[in-house]
Amino acid sequence: MSYVGPEFEPAQPRRPRRGPLTVALAALVPGALLGWMVYEAVGGGTGGGSDRAAATASPSGSAAVSSSPSPTDDGKGASGAAAGSGSLKGKVVVIDPGHNPGNFQHAAEINRKVDIGTNDKECDTTGTSTNDGYTEARFTLDVAHRLSALLQKQGATVKLTHDGDRPAWGPCVDERARIGNDAHADAAISIHADGSAAGNRGFHVILPGSVHAGAADTRKIVGPSHDLGTRVAGAFLRDTGEPPSNYLGEGTGLVTRTDLGGLNLSTVPKVFIECGNMRDSKDAALLTSGAWRQKAAQGLFDGISDFLNAQRN
């Protein structure tokens, strides 16, 4: 994800990794039992991840990834075994594929400022890419299609914020939030990949902080969004083997922010995920693999379905 300018953000300083025990203990998602289950499933963990901001909270461990890179595998809506328990019929999920492949050609439009409650911010940004030119926008839309297929297979109603059905840029961050709000989504997720320095690895989930300013009021969604985020982080770790960020979140895989319009303006439970760092060769090899992207979609599905099913109880 690129938050600054038309190109890529500057590299961020690395933070020290936490040891396996620290990361495992951080995975006490809603409670000790779930954390123990995640730790046992993965066998411990190390740090790893992507993005910029202050850290908080929790998931854990890591596992070996066996998929081999395959940059040409872009299967839209690819199939995969749905692992969630119970039907998702009646549930609404909004998927927000970060950025848009056409943003590079529409600098004036995406640089237009919009109100995000706390301040004005650019409508959107270009996103990042791997060193070989595989773009974040292409990655996010592919994972969104795969995730959508898994959710629909379990009966969920799915809406994407964009899917080739609009002009070749955007939508703006305020509109992305509004789409989830208007759909009365039970859960919303914005999919991204980071553009940090080489050597910075891993995923992190961005949670909304408490904001009450202007058009933004996240106070009612902070709690459920934290629950959604911790479940997504635990499942993503387990299903993909990608470690939590080694440069943000202090090994927890969770980061809280109050400067993102897509979260500030949301009135439904919502999180962002940075699935890995496109500028690191090891992460790039995963992000460009269709097989790994299917694992990423499965991890997102498992976390979201776990959250949705928990809401029924």
Which positions are annotated as active-site residues?
Answer: 274
Residue labelled with tokens 């976390």: 303
Write the single-letter amino acid at 242.
Answer: E
Residue labelled with tokens 């992000």: 287
In Å, how far are 40, 54, 242, 248, 313 from 18, measured between CA atoms?
18, 16, 15, 11, 34
Q: What does the alpha-carbon distance between residue 181 and residue 266 come to, in Å, rounded to a whole number?
A: 6
- As given in the structure block, the two tokens for residue 157 are 């109603």
